[in-house]
Structure 1
């Protein structure tokens, strides 16, 4: 498990926001079913990729609800279509993992139990997100997406 460490600039996103607790996968599915039919309203996208985002109030507390987003990266937040919202991901450092298949939970367990304790990093408080590009195939074991884990050096 060798992630790529990337420093990204600020990213602007437009999409739909929901809320969930760990394990409530139906909330994610429902959010995407609402967003996909209206994503065409977002006219200033930077690419064809979709972004799934999680914004945790406290990543270490698995009992707390957190915000989830179904969205696309845009050039700016000047023209947000009705029914959608904007969000800016702050610049920062990320460990980027490739998820093959659809079991993000298994990947996160491996990251948190194996990679992170030996990495010299800790999870930062910025949003976590996944980029679903050309290799993403919904509900397929052949799918690939990039998983961005916000990190900072351990003190």
Structure 2
């Protein structure tokens, strides 16, 4: 992945911080030459309950050409709980996925070479975009 990040207080700085870095990144995504699909924004994040670092990235074929001011990294293979929602229902989707995980006995892997991921699928001229949310779980 290649992208940009922002760190802000949590929860008071969100979702504003996430929206800010996504907007800034979308304006620069054409600088990434080895992207797989520039209409899919991948946003992993790390949060310790006090501060959070949120990324806006594109999946790339390799990490050889990283534009100035961006970061490149690889996420290891993980098992995730997944839920689909829209950019208008993310908060409700988090409530639903954590309720489901609790009912099924799944526990989130927390900062163990893992991070949750939000995946946004851009569509022209729509207010609601499809989003996938992935929460790393212990198996």
Is the shorter-chain TM-score for this pair beyond 0.5, marking a shared fold? yes
CA deviation after TM superposition for structure 1 residue 137, in Å: 6.6
Q: CA RMSD in A?
A: 2.0
Residues 117-153 of structure 1, C-alpha deviation per residue, up to 9 Å, x if partnerless?
A: 122311013111122225x57872x432111111112
Instruction: Tell me the TM-score normalized by structure 1.
Output: 0.76
Match in the other structure for 1:51:
42
Match in the other structure for 2:108:
123
Residues 24-71 of structure 1, C-alpha deviation per residue, up to 9 Å, x if partnerless?
A: 221112112211111101111112311122123x3xxx3x10110011
Instruction: Tell me the TM-score normalized by structure 2.
Output: 0.84
Secondary structure in 2 matching 1:16: strand
Structure 2 unaligned segments of length 5 or more: list them. Answer: none
Structure 1 unaligned segments of length 5 or more: list them. Answer: 1-12
Alignment of 1:6-155 (within 5 A): 13-20=1-8, 21-23=10-12, 24-48=14-38, 49-56=40-47, 58=48, 62=49, 64-112=50-98, 114-125=99-110, 126-133=114-121, 140=127, 142-153=128-139
Q: Distance in 1 between matches of 2:132 and 2:124?
A: 13
More strand by share: 1
- Return closer, same or farther for 1:96/1:68 CA change in 2, 3 Å cut-off: same
Q: Distance in 2 between matches of 1:70 and 1:41?
A: 14
- Return closer, same or farther for 1:102/1:31 CA change in 2, 3 Å cut-off: same
